[in-house]
Structure 1
């Protein structure tokens, strides 16, 4: 990986969170157990395929449009739509579920997947955050996430690394609106050229910070991630 300048020329490194620092390693298993408790037993592999398909459709394939305010309610609605897509393609209608049951199930899934217990840090996170901090770099988070994110970071033992922590549902702004990056810079008292941003989404995590003058690098955590970037945060330490 080649940054536009050396890592030690930055004052701070800010991060996306989901699929950059944290992951739910077995989402299909968790959803499978959740549905099995409701007498629905779809194949876990099919659940996994639909998660990938839904992420591509609703998240990675989303184009830049008019920027709208972000609230806990709009975040919940986004995920309810995504979970509804998965349930529909798993065949809940054949299970005679009513629309009301599907809607309630999607809300329960949102609460399940925004609680700390199912998240895990990627293997390189603790080591790299500690190394970056030891080099004198300030660390921060800018993430589209539910209001539970600070509690999740705390539960994983990494919240103390970050200042600022800018969460879309708490800030009222969400990526790819460049304004969320401007807000983070203001909170940190930093200039755009001071910051390197790391995330997994071409638009949210590369295009958007670039709009305010922040350098960005993409991290490719999964096989379906395309383009150029880094495969591990450890690559930052060699730059």
Structure 2
């Protein structure tokens, strides 16, 4: 078996998980001074969930026709990403128009993201073993401040973000770039991620692939631990 010398991790649903939709909505309502009946908050949160308005959360139950093309390439450019997700949120009538942008802004804050219970421990152990660590994400904004706020950046050697390169996983060019950033041949790299199509595309380049389950943080206490068994 080829020795693994570097690990690429997906971000959302792999290393960290976005807060629940209801928590997301409540945070924005509170910050904006918008008061609303409890039942109404719960109802709107459910509608936003079905709309797929929270990046990193549930996929849309139905993508509006006017957003369908953008949805497919949403992670190639920051403006597209914002347009798609604020557009999905606008399928749900909210009491103030500025809330749509406020919701989008909220999801990019460190407080909106929670590391999985074993994230820090697994990254620290890989770092201790001298394994190169990269984050490779389909995303429309800079996740580095989130890693920094949660004390994870100290373990990460590189971040390759789709919107900064105009390429999305599973395009082999993005995996090739991420491997070059680690200074390793793809055959020595393990890709870890929750999307078997996007992240699993790494195998086309010769990387190994380990899938993890996209679950709430309290339901996946040790999903990253198998990485340590695969890496010498």
TM-score range for the pair, normalised by the shorter chain length: 0.7 to 0.9
Q: Against the structure 1 CA distance between its residues 175 and 80, is the aligned structure 2 distance closer, same or farther, given a 3 Å change threshold?
A: farther
Asked if 1:199 corresponds to 2:193, the answer is yes
User: Aligned to 1:74, which of 73, 80, 86?
Assistant: 80
Deviation at 1:170, TM superposition (A): 2.0
SS at match of 2:210: strand
Unaligned 5+ residue runs, structure 2?
53-57, 63-67
Deviation at 1:53, TM superposition (A): 6.5
TM-score (norm 1): 0.75
Contact 2:17 2:113 in 1 (8 A): yes
Q: Tell me which of 34, 41, 55 is aligned to 1:38.
A: 34
Q: 1:181 to 1:58 in 2, by over 3 A?
A: farther
Q: How does 1:1-239 map to 2 (within 5 A)?
A: 5=1, 9-35=3-29, 37-41=33-37, 42-44=40-42, 47=45, 50-51=48-49, 54=52, 55-57=58-60, 70-85=76-91, 88=92, 92=93, 101-102=96-97, 104-206=98-200, 208-222=201-215, 232-239=223-230
CA contact (8 A) 2:202 2:208 kept: yes
Bigger shift: residues 65-74 or 14-23 = 65-74
Task: Give the number of equivalent residue pairs.
Answer: 211
Give the TM-score taking structure 2 as reference length.
0.77
Deviation for aligned residue 1:221? 3.5
Stretches of structure 1 that go unaligned for 5 or more consecutive residues are 224-229
